Amino acid sequence: MIQLERNECMQEYDRLKEMVAAVEDDLIKAEGGNKAAGTRVRKSMQEIKQAAQAVRIKILEARSE
């Protein structure tokens, strides 16, 4: 069961990394003044925040068992 939780933690972490990588293009556009890209970046950052919280929860669950 602990091995399964490690896999779940890594899956959540991999998802987080993919989300961060996906926002890069819009971030570059937002820095160039594209307001719509800035909106997409802010939305993505909120989703990344939630994904990071999910990783934290999985780590705490694995630690407590």
The secondary structure of 32-53, three-state, reads: CCCHHHHHHHHHHHHHHHHHHH
Tens place of pLDDT per residue across the chain (65 aa): 455 556 888 888 999 999 999 999 999 999 999 999 999 999 999 999 999 998 898 888 888 87
Instruction: Determine the Cα–Cα distance for residues 63 and 8; give it in Å rounded to an integer.
Output: 13
Rg (the chain; Cα; Å): 15
Q: pTM of the full predicted structure?
A: 0.80
User: What are the residue ranges spanned by the domains of the chain?
Assistant: 2-64
Tell me the residue length of the chain: 65
